[in-house]
Structures are given as C-alpha cells and as structure tokens.
Chain A
C-alpha cells in the first residue's frame, strides 16, 4: 500500500512547551487511522501542522508525494486534504448549501460555481442535511453544525479527511448516525485521519490507531493491540507511581 500522508520526524514548540516532538506517522490509501491520547497530548496541533495552520519547526510532511511542509492551508486544501474542525466554524451568515459550495468550489476539483452547487447539494443530502439546505448555518443545532463541518470538508472531494472530534457533543443516537456516515465516506476510498475521545467509536472505526502522549508517539497498532498496551493504559488512567509531568524547558 502507498501512503496518502507521511509525517516525518515533525516537531513544534510554543515558547517553552514542546507540543509535538519528533512525531512520525503514515496514513495509507483508503485507511482510517485513529489518533488518540489524553487531553493536551498534541492531537489538534498535529492536525494544525498537517493542514498548514502552523509550520513545523523541524521535520517534513508529504501528501501524496508532494512536500507540503509549511505550505498555507488553502494550498493544502486544493491538493485534496480537507478538515472538519473540533470547534465548529460554520460561515454563519451563509446557507448550508453555500457553506458546502465553498468547499466544493475551492477544493481539489476547483469546480465552477454551478457544478460546485450541485455537488454540494449531493453531499449535504448524504450527511443528512438535505432538509436544511437553505437554512443559515448559524441556526443549525450542534449536531447539525457537526454534520455541516463534515459535509463542507467532503464537498471538496478530498483524498484525505482530517476529522477532529466530530462526535463530541452528540447524543448516542447522533453518534451512531455519524459513525455510519464516516463509514460511508471511507467506502468511497477517502482516507481518514480521525481524532476522537469516544473510545468505543474510534476502536470500532479505525483500522489502526496511533497513541500520542505529551506530544510524542506512545504506541501504534491495531485497536486491540493498542487497547492492551500497558503504556497506553498508564497514560490514560495514570500509573501506581505518579506519571512524569509535561516536559518544559526553564
């Protein structure tokens, strides 16, 4: 299998805090890779590095053979890397359809406006927003906004989708629906890198899981391997002896 995304020895510091340290990971074609770790492990920072919000201090990020290290977000998006945010960022004044149209217009396929609108309509229906297509995005419910994040990212017809806690804040029924939607996306051959706190969901969704702790790689493997890893259990639940605190330079 060839890799969609290769993150090679990437580091990022904010002042004295090492948010990500010497992290390497690969996302294979068509794979769902779960990214888990305790709060503050640096998961969202990894996403920000991948989609260009931050440039890494060291290391290299390669997307489908193109070096995207330090490239701006809009250029990375055009290459076919889309992202759904943890904290939803709807374009509140625009309708659901227009939100998705922005994704389709400026995504990988660079569609003209009318085609983009048609594509957006399809995707919106696919994630269950078909009935609210003309509603201003700001008026959607939390679950609706989460779906919109997903629909907008999907409208770009990406090769790789970064999903940052799309299940957070949803009730159990909505979680089930969302999991089905994510599975549907994967069936179309889109690779997915997903951050999630709902363990049951990520364990059942992911092909492989990478565990991050204090900004570096703690473990990786299949969901069952990771779940049985004593280091992972320690990182989540704490050890008998107090765990070492985040490394800080003075």
Chain B
C-alpha cells in the first residue's frame, strides 16, 4: 500500500515534467490540493466520526502564515510552509481540546464558527493586508530560480505533501491510535468504557488533520501569488471537501483521494459548461445527498462490497 502511494505520486510528478505539459500540471496540482484536503479531512470524518465543516481554515491560515513569512521576512518557501504547518497544528490542538467536548451537530456548528471567526479576524488584521490580502512581489520567486521554475518546484512539493497525506492516513489507520479513533467514530461511549482516552485522541487527530493542509495552503497560495480572506477561508471549498470524502469512501485510505480526483474532474466539466458553471455547489449538494442516501460507504465501500478480495489490497 505505501509503495502504491509512492509510485502513484512519482508518476504524477514525472509525467507532466517529461512531457513538459503545463496544462496537465495545473490540472494535477488542483487535484492534488483537493486530495490533501480530503485525505486529511477523512482523518476526522472517516476515522473519528466528527464532521469538520470548517476544515478549510487550516488551509487558509497555513497559506497566510506562509505567504507572510515569504513576502515580509523573505523566508525560503519550504521553511515558511513547514512553520505554518506546525503553528496551525498547535492552534488546532488548543481549539480541539475545547470544541471537541461538543458532539454531532454542535461540533459541526463550532467548526463553521471557527472558520468564520478566523476569516473576520484576518479581514481586520492590517499586517496581513486586511480585506485585500497579501500580494507576492515577483522577486519572491527569484530564490527558486524565477517564476517558471518556481511553478515546477511548487508542483513537486505539492505532490510530496499529497503523498505524505496518504501515508499519514495509512499509518494512522494501521496503528493503535487509529483503532482508538475508529472505536470513537463507531461509538464514543463504548470506546471510553473500553479505555480509549477519547478527549486526548480527538484533540490529537484534529491537530494532525491540520498539519498537511496548512503546508499545502502555504504552497498553493505561494503559487497563486495572492491570498485574500474570501479565497483562503471559503466555506464552499470546505463543503466540497466533505463531498469528496463521502464520494470516495470515508474511513478508507484511497477513497478520499479517488473522491477528490473524481470531483475535480466533475467540477472542471461543470465550470466550463455554460449552463452549470454557476450551479457547481448545487450539484455538489445534490451529489452528497445521493451518496449519503444510496452509497453511504462511497466508491470504496461499493468496490469492497462487490469485489471482496479488494479489501485486503486496497484500504
């Protein structure tokens, strides 16, 4: 399984590079960002059974910290992104210890609240450019050998973070920590009676699910060259990430990645069509409804049911 992940990542990294296909690279980069979001969100939804509606806050906050460090303090991009990951994850741990006392709908509401609160805070935070955000000057790309080369480097880094996301998901799923989380997701009271330290585990997974999206956000917004509150803390993207997880199969390692790739394709097709370009979220909502009603296990659940032998090989 880990080899499969590494192989796929290597393929995604090298094919557009060898063929020098910039369009393919851009498509894959967007898909990879979605895979990062969905895979890490799956740690919460699929394993611990908590729906984090405000998951995009990690991505946005990571982006802001990273872009700020690069633009104002001239940090190298990898260092800035890693620091953003650590910082956001630490903040998430603190928040997690607080809001994870809530369950079900109340937890979901609290996560939306956090995203909106951070968005407002950043909108009024002058060092980060307030409502208009931060623009990266062209010379920010010089340390990476100019804009053209920087785009390739960012792409490879994003693919690396994507692979790390899937490896993290795999490692957690096959650990004692993961078993405890899945027990919480199935029945939190029973898990506690069996000795699973529920408050600690929930806070830890909330924090773990923040690291890589924050790093990914740093890379993505560096590449964009601009970050502003509306784009960074977009609740719509948060909800799309939930759709991806549900579509691919919550609680599996591969599922969310499949869901993300599939959704990205669908979204691309919808955005370029005249009729549907404004209905993207409507379609996402309808899709979510259909999945929850008819295929609650998502794609992977469907595959596992139809082809039992895949259970051993595809987690």
Contacts and interface: CB of A to CB of B under 8 A. Distances in A.
Contacts of A82: 194
B175 interface: yes
A89 B192 contact: no
A219 interface: no
A242 B107 CA distance: 49
Given A78-B195, A106-B196, A89 B190 contact: yes
Interface stretch (B50-58, B79-87, B179-187): B179-187
Given A98-B179, A102-B180, A105-B176, A73 B192 contact: yes
A89 B187 contact: yes
A102 B198 CA distance: 13
A106 B175 contact: no
Contact of A74 (B174, B195, B251): B195
Contact of B189 (A89, A113, A116, A156): A89
B191 interface: yes
A49 B4 CA distance: 49
B179 A156 contact: no
Given A89-B187, A91-B186, A93-B186, A105 B192 contact: no
- Consensus secondary structure, chain B interface: helix
Contacts of B194: 74, 77, 82, 102-103, 106-107, 152, 156
Interface string B154-179: 00000000000000000000111001
B134 to A, nearest CB: 44
Given A85-B193, A107-B195, 7 more contacts: A53-B189, A72-B192, A74-B197, A85-B190, A91-B182, A103-B195, A113-B175
23 contacts: A73-B193, A74-B191, A74-B192, A78-B195, A83-B193, A85-B190, A89-B190, A90-B187, A91-B186, A91-B187, A91-B191, A93-B186, A93-B251, A98-B179, A102-B183, A102-B191, A103-B194, A103-B195, A105-B176, A106-B180, A106-B194, A112-B176, A152-B194
